[in-house]
Amino acid sequence: MIDSKLVHSTPPPITKWQELTSAKLEHEHLMMNLQFAKKIVTLAAVFFRWTWIELLQNRDPLGRQSVSSTCTPLGSTMIHSLFLINSSGDIFLEKHWKSVVSRSVCDYFFEAQERATEAENVPPVIPTPHHYLLNVYRHKIFFVAVIQTEVPPLFVIEFLHRVVDTFQDYFGVCSEVVIKDNVVVVYEVLEEMLDNGFPLATESNILKELIKPPTILRTVVNTITGSTNVGDQLPTGQLSVVPWRRTGVKYTNNEAYFDVIEEIDAIIDKSGSTITAEIQGVIDACVKLTGMPDLTLSFMNPRLLDDVSFHPCVRFKRWESERILSFIPPDGNFRLLSYHVSAQNLVAIPVYVKHNISFRDSSSLGRFEITVGPKQTMGKTVEGVMVTSQMPKGVLNMSLTPSQGMHTFDPVTKLLSWDVGKINPQKLPNLKGTMSLQAGTSKPDENPTINLQFKIQQLAISGLKVNRLDMYGEKYKPFKGIKYMTKAGKFQVRT
Partner 1 sequence: MSASGLGYNEQGGEAATEQGQEATPTTAPSVPAAFGLFSSDTKKNEDLKQMLESNKDSAKLDAMKRIVGMIAKGKNASELFPAVVKNVASKNIEIKKLVYVYLMRYAEEQQDLALLSISTFQRALKDPNQLIRASALRVLSSIRVPIIVPIMMLAIKEASADLSPYVRKNAAHAIQKLYSLDPEQKEMLIEVIEKLLKDKSTLVAGSVVMAFEEVCPDRIDLIHKNYRKLCNLLVDVEEWGQVVIIHMLTRYARTQFVSPWKEDGVLEEENEKDFYESDEEQKEKDQKVKKPYAMDPDHRLLIRNTKPLLQSRNAAVVMAVAQLYWHLAPKSEAGIVSKSLVRLLRSNREVQYIVLQNIATMSIQRKGMFEPYLKSFYVRSTDPTMIKTSKLEILTNLANEANISTLLREFQTYVKSQDKQFAAATIQAIGRCATNISEVTDTCLNGLVCLLSNRDEIVVAESVVVIKKLLQTQPAHHGEIIKHMAKLLDTITVPVARASILWLIGEYCERVPKIAPDVLRKMAKSFTNEDDLVKLQILNLGAKLYLTNSKQTKLLTQYILNLGKYDQSYDIRDRTRFIRQLIVPNEKSGALSKYAKKIFLAQKPAPLLESPFKDRDRFQLGTLSHTLNTKATGYLELSNWPEVAPDPSVRNVEVIELGKEWSVALGKAKKEKPTEKFYSDAEEEESASTTDTESESTSESEKEENGKEEGSSMENSESSSEELSDSESESKEGTAKKKFKTIEESDSDDPEKKTKMISKKKESSGSSGSESSSTEESSSDSESESDSESDVESRKPKNAIASKRKEMSVPERKASTKQDVSLLDLDDFNPVSTPVAVPTPAILSPSLVADLEGLSLSRSSVIDVSSPIFVPMKTHELLHRMSGKGLAAHYHFSRQPCIYGNQMVSVQVTLTNTTDQKLENIHVGERKLPAGMKMHVFNPIEFLEPEESITVSMGIDFCDSTQTASFQLCTKEDNFNVNIQPPIGELLLPVTMSEKDFKTEQGMLTGMNETSATITVAPQNSTRLVLLEKVVKAANLGVVPSGQDNIHRFAAKTVHSGSLMLVTVELKEGSTAQLIINTEKTVIGSILLRELKPVLSQG
Binding status of residue 458 toward partner 1 by CB under 8 A: no
Nearest to 88 by CA among 183, 179, 176: 176
Query: 351 and 441 in contact (C-beta within 8 Å)?
Result: no
Chain center to CA of 213: 16
3-state secondary structure of 481: strand
Nearest Cα to Cα of residue 362 among 434, 432, 441: 441
Give the binding range for partner 1 (CB under 8 A) out of 40-48, 358-366, 419-427, 478-486: 40-48
Q: Name the one range near partner 1 by CB under 8 A: 348-356, 379-387, 455-463, 471-479.
A: 471-479
Q: Is residue 412 within the footprint of partner 1 (CB under 8 A)?
A: no
| Angstrom distances, CA of residue 233 to CA of 81, 190, 217, 330, 426 | 29, 19, 19, 19, 61
Of 64 and 427, CB closest to partner 1: 64
> Of 281-340, which residues contact partner 1 (CB under 8 A)?
292, 294, 296, 298, 306-313, 315-318, 320-322, 324, 326-328, 335, 338, 340
Examine residue 55 and tell whether it contacts partner 1 (CB under 8 A). no
User: Could you give the CA distance from residue 488 to residue 495 in angstroms, rounded to a whole number?
Assistant: 18
Residue 96 in the binding site for partner 1 (CB under 8 A): yes
Report the nearest approach of partner 1 to the CB of residue 381 (Å).
26
Give least dist CB 168 to partner 1, A. 13
As measured in angstroms, the least distance from the Cβ of 416 to partner 1 is 14
Q: Which of 168, 169, 175, 191 binds partner 1 (CB under 8 A)?
A: 191
Applying CB under 8 A, does 219 fall inside the site for partner 1?
yes
> Position 74: which residue type?
L
Q: Which amino acid is at 266?
A: A
Binding span for partner 1 by CB under 8 A among 61-69, 353-361, 402-410, 457-465: 61-69
361 binds partner 1 (CB under 8 A): no
465 touches partner 1 (CB under 8 A):
no
C-beta of residue 407 within 8 angstroms of C-beta of residue 422: no
Q: How far is the CB of 162 from partner 1 (least distance, A)?
A: 9
Q: Could you tell me the smallest distance in angstroms from the CB atom of residue 205 to partner 1?
A: 13
Taking the CA atoms of residue 166, residue 324, residue 306 and residue 241 in that order, the dihedral angle to the nearest 10 degrees is 40
CA-wise closest residue to 148 among 101, 87, 214, 193: 101
Write the CB contacts of 443 (distance below 8 Å, at least 6 apart in sequence). 359, 360, 361, 366, 394, 437
- Rule CB under 8 A: choose which of 239, 476, 479, 481 binds partner 1: 239
Candidates 63-71, 370-378, 379-387, 416-424: pick the segment binding partner 1 (CB under 8 A): 63-71
* Chain residues 141-160 in contact with partner 1, contact rule CB under 8 A: 147-155, 157-160
3-state DSSP assignment of residue 122? coil
Question: Is residue 241 a contact residue for partner 1 (CB under 8 A)?
Answer: yes
Q: In this structure, what DSSP letter does residue 53 have?
A: H
